[in-house]
Amino acid sequence: MILHAHQGTTSSALTRLSVNAARRLGIPRDGYAHLLGVAPEHLNDDLCRTPAATSIRIAELTTVHASWTELALVLAEQSAIGALGVWDYLITSAPTPLEGIRDASAYFATVADTATDNLRIVEDGELVTISHVNEADLTYEAACAIRAYALGLYQRRLSEAAQRRLVPLRVTLAAEAPRRHEPLTRLYGTRAIEFEAPVSSITFLASDLSAPTPHAQPGLSTVLRRHAEQTLAGAIPLHNWLDLFRTALASVHDEATTATLPAVARRMAVSTRTLQRRLDEHGTTWSNEVEAVRRAHITRLLHDTDLGIDAIAARSGYADARALRRAVQRWYGTTPARLRRDGRSL
């Protein structure tokens, strides 16, 4: 289930890297600012999952003006530890770098679109080969950049885990040899790079990856794996306009007791009439969407807090506890007290 979570989307952190790389390489923002998920409220929200098509389009725009080798290097240089959230620490906090990259493979969905991208590990005696397979529908140059960057990212994280620069024995790239190799030799720290390979991969000595990670803390990997699962469970995928509306509504609801139509319209930079029309086009209404947010909010308060019914009613925009009880009865066919007990027994 983890491997297939939120297919068609990537983490907002990965999209931020793409946007920052495009900016650094001088790509005009007006070429991608309109794309779904690039608005600041989504790009800077780690719960949001951006459409994979957004990152692909930014990479394609970037490689029109810069070489794929330059883009791969810039992306890697920006990828400081923590830039990709919990996925980074799965690698650097495991008992060995090899165990870390295995966890990173198992939870690859926390950063990438597993419908098109895969991290594969092959252990063969004294060697460990890590491959990045990208099958997305994108231009040749953008595909080369993404694969080359991914290998550089794996090398960087494994080196951070080992707390020393790990030099690969061999790098293979599913790309034609570029005119300039210098960005790639900087990226990998070696000239042992083969081009026109069937799969992009990076190979290390098994002894380099199986040595204990310095300062590894017992039990930390278990905590991080649990956090990765929670990250996926709580993620908000942005596939279309309705997803954007719902994130805006939830955001306004979190800031006030009752979300209003004008407030959400302002957040989305549209008129109230346009907002209502778009909701109708998507087969829903303002009142239905507000009730869904209220229902989720109230259910969460009942399950996760000890607040009384009166306090929950006040926080949820209901006139009194009786109105809240009627709403819970309508939604679930039970009482708030029973819903609370049932939720805590799960």
CATH code of the domain covering residue 333:
1.10.10.60
The answer for 176, left when phi > 0, alpha when psi is -120 to 50, beta otherwise, is: beta
Tell me the whole-structure pTM to 2 decimals. Answer: 0.77
What Å distances lie between residue 170 and 46, 107, 200, 203, 290, CA to CA?
Answer: 35, 25, 11, 5, 55
Task: Spell out the residues 6+ positions from residue 344 whose beta carbon is closer than 8 angstroms to its own.
Answer: 303
Q: Which of residues 198, 232, 266 is at a domain's end?
A: 232
One domain for residues 216 and 172: yes
One domain for residues 8 and 147: yes
SS3 track for the chain: CHHHCCCCEEEHHHHHHHHHHHHHCCCCHHHCCCCCCCCHHHHCCCCEEEEHHHHHHHHHHHHHHCCHHHHHHHHHHHCCCCCCCHHHHHHHCCCCHHHHHHHHHHCHHHCCCCCCEEEEEEEECCEEEEEEEECCCCCHHHHHHHHHHHHHHHHHHHHHHHCCCCCCCEEECCCCCCCCCHHHHHHHCCCCEECCCCCEEEEEEHHHHHCCCCCCCCCHHHHHHHHHHHHHHHCEECCCHHHHHHHHHHHHHHHCCCCCHHHHHHHHCCCHHHHHHHHHHCCCCHHHHHHHHHHHHHHHHHHHCCCCHHHHHHHCCCCCHHHHHHHHHHHHCCCHHHHHHHHHHC
One domain for residues 255 and 224: no
Q: Which of residues 176, 208, 232 is at a domain's end?
A: 232
The structural domain count of the chain equals: 2
Strands in 236-237's sheet, in edge-to-edge order, are 9-11, 48-51, 236-237
* pLDDT-flagged residues of the chain (< 70): 1-4, 256-257, 344-346
One domain for residues 141 and 249: no
Amino acid identity for residue 56 in this structure: I
pLDDT in tens, 287-297: 999 999 889 88
One domain for residues 88 and 175: yes
What Å distances lie between residue 172 and 27, 158, 283, 331, CA to CA?
Answer: 29, 18, 49, 56
The answer for 129, left when phi > 0, alpha when psi is -120 to 50, beta otherwise, is: beta
Q: Could you tell me the residue range of the domain that residue 254 belongs to?
A: 239-345
d(CA 142, CA 301): 45
One domain for residues 101 and 155: yes
Give CA 197 to chain center in angstroms: 29
Angle (deg, nearest 10), helices 336-345 and 321-332: 60
Dmax (CA) of the chain: 73
One domain for residues 294 and 193: no
Q: Which of residues 207, 232, 257 is at a domain's end?
A: 232
One domain for residues 217 and 268: no
Task: Give me the pLDDT at residue 334, please.
Answer: 93
One domain for residues 211 and 296: no
Task: Give me the pLDDT at residue 1, please.
Answer: 43
One domain for residues 190 and 290: no
Task: Give me the pLDDT at residue 257, please.
Answer: 61
pLDDT in tens, 218-249: 999 999 999 999 999 989 898 888 888 888 88
One domain for residues 227 and 291: no
One domain for residues 199 and 331: no
Task: Spell out the residues 6+ positions from residue 338 whose beta carbon is closer than 8 angstroms to its own.
Answer: none
Residue 36 sits in a domain whose CATH number is 3.90.1520
Task: Give me the pLDDT at residue 241, please.
Answer: 85
